[in-house]
Structure 1
Amino acid sequence: MNKLKTPLLASLCMLLFSVASHAETQWLDRIVAIVDEDIILASEVDERLTSVQQNIARAGQQGPPEDQLRREILDLLILENIQLQMADRVGLRIDDEQLTAAVGRVAAKNNMTLEQFRQALLDSGASYRDVREQIRREMLLQRVQMGNVNQRIQITDQEVTNYLNSEEGRARTSPEYRLAHLLVPVASDASDADRERARQQAQQLAAKLRKGADYTSLAQGSVNASDLGWRRETDLPSLFASVAPNMSDGGVSEPLQSASGYHVIQLLESRGLNETVAQTRASHILLKPSAIRSEAQTLSLAKELRQRVLNGDSFRDLAKEYSEDIGSAQEGGDLGWTSPGQLVPEFQQAMEDTAIGDISAPVKSDFGWHIIKVVDRRQQNVSQDLRKRMARNVLHERKYQDELDIWLRKIRAEAYVDIKL
């Protein structure tokens, strides 16, 4: 970051050349844009242009003219540069451990181990180091965007209520059911006796399910057995929609007749009905490494603050004074009641391993170093909370891109940009 400071540009730009034999000057690179306190080089545009053109070719598509594509790439690099300078100014860093974990997730999405992913890149002629740095860059951009855009998004309780009451809201937040299905088929021209035999067979299958038989073991002869997977109530076949909501997990229906035969369903699982989870109420103090405080110094301060609490100092007062979590610091570090999955994995695990009233050892997450005080635990029905959270997530996603576009235009307009084309 910060390749060149603005006051030095005039003199340092002259260093971007090489003197060849016979004193002939040959330019190796050139500046195509000055962006606040940084620059963008022609080589950066060329590298991104090559990458984009290769992606377009692999997709079998026809790209825009090269001049237009080059200008669009330069505009994108300018925006990225502005954001990376913002990250640099606030001391935002992605350390090697966090980066390796992120690269590992990329490898896992491609069904590879980290070493297999590295080898695949080498085999394709790509640089593993360059890929790591690109992922680091994307992580920084994402964090800068989220940190600045999320605070611009406001979702009112009334918006949540309106969404939940809408047709889409009811459909997206309705309970989900996972059903096992058994079908005893009946031909359209079957006799009454044949239909009665099929009904009795379906009743026998239902009885076996109630006694603990696995539905897959009952698929014999013409009997068809299947797992319908997770489906919302609104997506269930009409024959089952009136039955499944009245069943408990593990319950088995009476035979249901349709034109194709007799059906038996078993509710394997449900969710979104009476969701009860183990919640924890905790407080924390967050300390972030920065340009003026190293990783080791940050950890040392976390240990010192923990010891002060153990010696009798107020956790709440120390959180107000030292915590760098803007959202909770003024509340004495109080995070309120949280459910599993709401917090980053490292924090969640440390919190679960800490007894009520105790203070955790310092734990590191992507956000920095935490010390955690567990205040209480409870079992809580969160069905309605989950519906509201789902609604907020949907509304947030809808607003995020619009707010991101507005914010990007704002920072672009406020930045000093001098294009040298």
Structure 2
Amino acid sequence: MNKPFFSRSLFWPKCSLFLAAFVWAPLSVLAQPSALPIRSADFVVAVVNSEPITNQEVQALSLRLQRDARAQGLGTTLSEIKKLALEQLINDKVQIQQAASLGVVVDEAAINQAESSVASNNQLSVEALRARLQQDGLSVNSFREQLRQQLLLTRVREREVDNRIRISDSEINQFLNEQIQRQATKISSDVNLAMILIGVPENSTPDQIKVLEDRAQSALTRARNGEDFASLAAAFSTTPDRGANGGAMGLRPLDRYPELFVQATSALPVGGISNLVRSGAGFHILKVLQRQSPPTTLLVTQTRARHILLRPSAQLSQAQAMEQLGSVRREILSGKADFAEVARRISQDGSAPQGGDLGWANPGMFVPEFEQTMNQLRPGQLAEPLVSRFGVHLIEVTERRDAPMTDAEQRSLARNVLREGKLEEAYASWVQDIRGKAFIEMRESPQ
């Protein structure tokens, strides 16, 4: 299968959102309170426009950064991690102060939605998430305050950076042309060649070879004079099938033909006939019957899936819904139940009448927690019950294919990729600018 240019990750542009990593991170790597032991009393290590940053804050962030570094196999030292943590805290502080000066606010509804998203991503209810956080020593109020700050950072960045990025049509055109050319170099053209072979037996004398070459030349002359190539293959070819199918070898990639054949036909148009090609088997005459060029549009991997959805309610808890769908999954796998039939009977989604079929979907069409699980499935594979913001799902992937993107899809996604590239540079420049205007006093190095 040809590899599409646009991978699934590109359908969810990062847009400089630290919140994206925070909200969708595993619960174990969410912000830590004071999990790193503090051997001495807390103290101020830096002041940003009269607001302090404490050693305890640096220690807590250092722990998370250290865990991330280990997970990625990085050999960063603790001293380097503490410096990175302090720099991040200073940058966050100046951005939050900038947000306050601009009147950017985050209401309770937005915090509730972010909290719900974290819970769903970890397949927990909000109540279970809060209980888990408290077990880990982080209060609900502290957690919600961290969510508020991350949402605040996101909004001020969107206002001050994202909205200033401009992508021109000429940039999009150039980008698409480059990617289509790159894709074409990775996807070989398929070619259907027909062949007449005048075989040369081993140990043939020069005179015998000359007779066979003259016979091959006669067949070539007649083919170039317009005689039917299939008839000539049947009359002249000494292949085991005696030129069956008119000598056609079928549409196949170039790398499945001998290099001699590729070289002899590379410059020929469809209908063109090669010169005599000499190989160890004898004399070949080749005709190009068909060329299938690489697509002139970018490809996207589409997935066709079906699901059964149960929505938790007063009568059905989330745990009960997961248990019910777990039982359904076992029955389907054992052949005791049919997925489509069960979906029509119990699914609480609009796809129920279609047996849960969601149709062909491009990346990014479903919520991240659903799509992440779906993308990990092979066609015919059934996932374990999954919790999303909409309820509990049982997902099965039925098919997957690479499909050409529409012009609108190509341009939209190209714009996102180009925007992402510009955002990183623009964001770094903006942070440097507002940091340069801030009063920053370094007190003591973190312990």
Query: What TM-score, normalized by structure 2, do the two folds share?
Result: 0.40
Q: Which has the higher contact order (CA 8 A, sep 6+)?
A: 2
TM-score (norm 1): 0.42
Whichever of the two has the greater Rg, that structure is: 2
